[in-house]
Amino acid sequence: MFRALALLVVFCSSLAQAASPVVLQRPIDLDVPGGQLHGSLLLPQSRQPVPVVLIIPGSGPTDRDGNNPDGGHNDYLRRLALLLAANNIASVRYDKRGVASGLPLAPDERMLNVESYVADAVAWGKQLKQDPRFSTLIILGHSEGSLVGGLAAPEAGAKAMISVAGSGRPVDQVLREQLQARVAPSLLPRSEQIIASLKAGHLDTDVPKPLQVVFRPSVQPYLISLFRQDPAKAYAALRMPVLIVQGRNDIQVGVKDAEALHAAQPKAEMALIGGMNHVLRIVPMDMKAQVASYRNPDLPLADALGKRVVAFIEQQR
């Protein structure tokens, strides 16, 4: 009897191991004007082509893993890629131009604009579409990557689009809201003037020192290009399946942004995940706990996030 039980345990263990695909991690490069962009490919070994997700990181110096020298080390995009791989879904995540390994393509942030980010995402998508190892291309954009992905998806040939913590309003509106909560009241009139100037396409170089982190002259060309974009308009134009994911405990992007994207694209699926914050972890609405989560790569991703994203991708197979 004990021998039979032991054999059963071994058999079940073998089944569990067989159910988990062997995953290869490989560097992957993209030739672009001026040089190369570099990324990481996670590829489950399979006899058949598998879906591939192009993961686009968020704003600022956020790298392919989701880490940011200003915002902390938490590996949320790397963890997301591993989750996909465990479900037999390939992924490519990459460093944007001007960030980490992409720094040589834009050593000065004055060279950056949204249009170049969109063109890079389109080029990545086209390269993956031509790769026989992949069956279906899905684009997943996090935060500002949601806007870039929404603009790139049609030309890239994506089968579907996933927005995670993406703004549903022009970013100047979001920035105004964030500044209201974080800047001294005496600085708000000046910040409004700067935003209005950038929205009109004009630089404003007379920036008070406390506002330099947001409006430093070197970042203003990028902000001008960003303020031209309307995420809701971009999503309204999509003619493909869309999943909109938003955490209810996100202190950077709110549920109303997800609702704005959904209003623009009513056929989209929307998943509002209780307790999930901007870096995709379950964290209470406590500022100390929120800040700590941005610097803790060991926190697990929200379980509901993985389930909704994987289920949506399975529908596209």
From residue 106, alpha-carbon distances to 112, 146, 234 in Å are: 7, 21, 26
Closest CA to 171 of 144, 192, 152: 144
Cβ neighbours around 187 below 10 Å, total: 13
Q: What angle do CA 213, 75, 259 make, to 5 degrees?
A: 70
User: For residue 29, what are the β-bridge partners?
Assistant: 38
What confidence category does residue 221 fall into, taking pLDDT thresholds of 50, 70 and 90?
Answer: very high
Q: How many CA atoms lie within 13 Å of 257's alpha carbon, on the beta-carbon side?
A: 29
> Whole-model pTM?
0.91
User: Which ranges of 137-295 would DSSP assign to H, the alpha helix?
Assistant: 144-156, 171-182, 188-199, 212-215, 220-227, 231-236, 255-264, 287-293
**Max Cα distance, the chain (Å):** 82
Rounded to whole angstroms, the Cα distance separating 17 from 279 reads 30
What confidence category does residue 4 fall into, taking pLDDT thresholds of 50, 70 and 90?
Answer: very low
State residue 191's pLDDT score: 96
What is the DSSP code string of 15-45? HHHHHS--EEEEEEEEEETTEEEEEEEEEE-
Q: What is the mean pLDDT of the chain?
A: 92
H/E element, 244: strand 242-247
- CB burial of 223-240 (b: ≥16 within 10 Å; e: otherwise) equals bbbbbbbbbbebbeebeb
Say whether pLDDT at 155 is over 60.
yes
State residue 19's pLDDT score: 56
What confidence category does residue 242 fall into, taking pLDDT thresholds of 50, 70 and 90?
Answer: very high
Cα separation of the two ends of the chain: 44
Burial classification of residue 161, based on how many CB atoms lie within 10 Å of its CB (0-12 exposed, 13-18 middle, 19 or more buried): buried
More confident residue, 104 or 5: 104
